[in-house]
Amino acid sequence: MYNDLLTIGRFTIHGYGLMIAIGILAAYLCAEYRAKRQGLDPDRIWSLAITVVLAGIAGAKVLYYITDLKNIIADPSILLDFQNGFVVYGGILAGILAGWIYCRANKLDFLRYADLTLTSVALAQGFGRIGCFLAGCCYGVPTDSRLSIVFTHSDFAPNGVHLVPTQLYSSALNFLNFATLVLISKKAKTPGQVSACYLLFYSIGRFCIEFFRGDLIRGSVGILSTSQFISIWTGLAGAAVLVFLHVRSKKDPASL
């Protein structure tokens, strides 16, 4: 795959950056449209989106620094590379925290806006992983399967080797997560259910995909990759919230 899609003079359109931009735009437009249908203030979506995106980028970068700490100590110049090196879970967690702070400061119903926002996040992630595919980052392990991809011009993945197309599998899972959350939101009876389902579904998919990832720079916790370790806790958190909301609705139907 080619990450440099178009070059005009000194200006180059990179596939990774383009897909990230498309994902953010699609997520914003989707959230704004669905906010109107759900009776939420669409005028809040833009400022909320900016807050979440900036916090997400910062969180993803910080978690990358943490997972790559040994290499950073050996070569501090890595800290100056703002184009490469992001860990999605850092972005998710930081984005949720920033969203909570924003909603609290503006006296908004955090769970309702979180349900709306995280559904759109899944959509953005689907496009983002296509960007990873174009760039060759987040690549898979070598395979003899016919369902493989061979990179020839990647700065990240080993070129000339048949690899598991983990980026495309991740993209498909994220788009599936988005579609599932949209359906769930139509039947959800209490705020927070969609957000909990996002955490649960994404965590399960990410935990499984990690077995086929070949970029070991992401760090590990024991026999698990860093993302698998985090997936366990975010998945349990999502399941716990679902159970809590279900129990509360049984005890207090008025909470629905």
Beta bridge mates, 150: 162
Alpha helix ranges (H) inside 68-192: 69-74, 88-105, 110-135, 166-187
pLDDT of 3 reads 64
Q: Express each pLDDT in 81-118 by its tens digit.
A: 666 677 888 999 999 999 999 999 999 999 999 999 99
pLDDT of 115 reads 97
Residues 38, 122: Cα–Cα separation, whole Å: 19
Provide mean pLDDT across the span 2-9.
Answer: 67
Q: Express each pLDDT in 13-22 by its tens digit.
A: 778 889 999 9
CA distances from 103 to 79, 175, 235, 249 (A): 32, 26, 24, 24
Beta bridge mates, 200: none
126-158: burial string, b at 16+ Cβ within 10 Å, e else: bbbbbbbbbbbbbbbeebeeeeebebeebebbe
pLDDT at 173 over 70: yes
